[in-house]
Amino acid sequence: MTYSSIYVCIILVLMLAALVADKLRPGLILFSAVVMLLCGHILTPKEALEGFSNKGMITVALLYLVSEGVRKSGILERIIYSLLPQKACSVQRANLRFLPVISSLSAFLNNTPVVVIFAPMIKNWCHKMHLPPTKLLIPLSYATILGGMCTLIGTSTNIVLDGLIQDAGYPGLAMFELSRVGLFILITGLAYLVMVSPYLLPDVRKSEQESEEGDIQPGLDRLEIMLSTRFPGLGKTLHEFDFYRHYGANVRAIRRSGTTLQGDWMNMRLTKEDTLIVDADPSFMKTWGESRVFWMVSRMGDVEKPMGSRKKWAALALVVLMILGATFGELDFVKQLFPRVKLDMFFFACVTTVVMAWSGMFNTRKYTKFISWDVLITIACAFGISKGMTNSGFADFIAGYIIDLAEQARHSSNGVYIMLAALYLITNLFTELITNNAAAALAFPLAVGISHQLGCDPTPFFICICFAASASFSTPIGYQTNLIVQGVGGYKFTDFVRVGLPLNLICFFISVFLIPLIYHMV
């Protein structure tokens, strides 16, 4: 290894340690790493800033607004209410009815608003049907992740990787390129969830029941709210941060990692993984329903005035046209008809966002609140770190090591599988420890290095990264949707390990086995 490679390796180790320690937000940690690469002359100022103008990153920002327009339309609620049985049924039957639809929706919409909308609805339905919501909420989160693996816009990870691919001079991924493998993972994963969730997931815990019991004063509602990274009281106790003075609601309990805190919880410091049980009057939802200070995970439907019928169907039509346009825009005859315009997802996301804004399909005065800026900064900085790994030669060094592993097994025709397995496991480890977008960006130069040294098409390696970066099932911290259902369902960390680890293995084996067959690598 060269001195530049060693320097980059040290920065990556420090960055990973800081992300695991969770001392700062991921965006600021990755920005610090970019600055260190800049100081070490690994990156030029232009290379350090290129990620902030990347088309993939901006597409992610636009899709946040598109998802908000669809969420506000109320169509998603109508769909799920029509699917949930109105008579007593088993957990398996309920999962079998709504999980395929949830995964289909998340293939084209941002996962987080889908879970934020459906989690409280499913929980309320479970209480009505006398079913434990803990049997359905983790499958809800996992179904959105599985659905997102099947299309280019199903998750920001795929869009980010597509931006890196195009910046490197390769043709981008088609809308349904990932479906060739993703559908097998989706079908197998959903079948697994339907079969095992009644047995591996816990019943409602006593701590959760206790937090929901007790008298409620007349005129007040009991709500659950999950704190976001924008909550100003993080790191403070409720004695230090007067929640009632700020928001006009009384905190009755704090739920953390599936357990309602006992003892002197008023003097325990708040974290971004906490869910608060509060009593508030109706004005609370009207005032703070659209805030990003915390995720509203209870009674989302009461926040806004319903959108008019025409706008509802117009919002749905716009999303359908966006998907169809981005799909057919990649066809050769369409490119010949419109040689001066690249009709890709970025183009149609721009058009859809502008039409939704001028049609009033989302609150245009608060539109910046619907965008997760830390995610965007993380993505932009991850591009710079990825470039630094390439410039220093560190990516080629790791790629060479992976190829050496494959060469040792080439006599048994397993070399391709070993290379894909190593790349998958490295990416998946990153996504479980840090964030899925950063994991994809860090693994990207490894895929390029492997393909360059082998002299082969890098597309199969890019596809492998997409699935590995999205397959975050074993921990609640790897994916925002897991954190949301943890707060709503009162899950423990071990619940995700028990159900998620086998699902991780399912995704691993299907990806590593099918990718070489579908892309003719063997």
**Per-residue confidence band for 192, with pLDDT thresholds at 50, 70 and 90:** very high
Reply yes or no on whether the pLDDT at 127 is more than 50: yes
- Beta strand pairing call for 275-280 and 249-256: antiparallel
**Per-residue confidence band for 215, with pLDDT thresholds at 50, 70 and 90:** low
pLDDT of residue 103: 92
* Spatial strand order in the sheet of 275-280: 259-260, 249-256, 275-280, 221-227, 294-296
For residues 277 and 255, is the Cβ–Cβ distance under 8 A? yes
Q: Residues 462-470: what's their mean pLDDT? A: 93
Count Cβ atoms within 10 A of the Cβ of residue 498 and give its class: 0-12 exposed, 13-18 middle, 19 or more buried. Answer: middle
Closest alpha carbon to 465 in 417, 511, 402: 511
- The predicted-structure confidence for 378-408, as pLDDT tens digits, reads as follows 888 888 888 888 888 888 888 777 777 666 6
Q: To which residue do tokens 């800081």 refer? A: 18
Q: Residues 100-118: what's their mean pLDDT? A: 83
Q: Which residues contact 80 (CB under 8 A, 6 or more apart)?
A: 98, 101, 102, 118, 121, 122
Instruction: Write down the mean pLDDT value for the chain.
Output: 82
Instruction: Report domain extents, the chain.
Output: 207-302
pLDDT of residue 204: 65
Higher pLDDT, 467 or 432: 467
Closest alpha carbon to 464 in 191, 190, 182: 182
Reply yes or no on whether the pLDDT at 513 is more than 90: yes
pLDDT of residue 184: 96
Q: Any idea which fold 207-302 has?
A: Alpha-Beta Plaits (3.30.70)
Closest alpha carbon to 443 in 142, 157, 176: 157
Reply yes or no on whether the pLDDT at 474 is more than 90: no
pLDDT of residue 510: 96
pLDDT of residue 300: 39
Cα–Cα distance measured from residue 314 to residue 56, given in angstroms and rounded to the nearest whole number? 26
DSSP designation for 308: P
Q: Residues 300-322: what's their mean pLDDT? A: 72
Q: Which of 2-6, 285-289, 415-419 has the lowest mean pLDDT?
A: 285-289
Closest alpha carbon to 71 in 243, 330, 388, 289: 289
pLDDT of residue 289: 64
List C-alpha distances in Å: 337 to 78, 122, 329, 334, 507: 39, 47, 10, 5, 39
- The predicted-structure confidence for 72-86, as pLDDT tens digits, reads as follows 777 777 777 777 777
What's the pTM value of the predicted model, to 2 decimals? 0.75
pLDDT of residue 439: 82
List C-alpha distances in Å: 210 to 133, 181, 220: 15, 44, 18
Cα–Cα distance measured from residue 511 to residue 150, given in angstroms and rounded to the nearest whole number? 12
372: left (phi over 0), alpha (psi -120 to 50) or beta: beta
- The predicted-structure confidence for 156-167, as pLDDT tens digits, reads as follows 888 888 888 988
Reply yes or no on whether the pLDDT at 214 is more than 80: no
pLDDT of residue 406: 64
| Cβ atoms within 10 Å of 25's Cβ, excluding its own | 17
Cα–Cα distance measured from residue 72 to residue 362, given in angstroms and rounded to the nearest whole number? 7
**Per-residue confidence band for 290, with pLDDT thresholds at 50, 70 and 90:** low
For residues 460 and 521, is the Cβ–Cβ distance under 8 A? yes
pLDDT of residue 181: 94
Q: Residues 216-231: what's their mean pLDDT? A: 76
Reply yes or no on whether the pLDDT at 301 is more than 50: no
pLDDT of residue 302: 41
Q: Residues 480-489: what's their mean pLDDT? A: 78
Q: Residues 504-518: what's their mean pLDDT? A: 94
Q: Which two tokens stand for residue 372?
A: 């997760």
List C-alpha distances in Å: 54 to 40, 169, 255, 349, 438: 23, 13, 39, 14, 15
**Per-residue confidence band for 247, with pLDDT thresholds at 50, 70 and 90:** confident
CA 348 from chain centre, in angstroms, equals 22
pLDDT of residue 193: 95
Reply yes or no on whether the pLDDT at 409 is more than 70: no
Q: Is 293 helix (H, G, I), strand (E, B) or coil?
A: coil
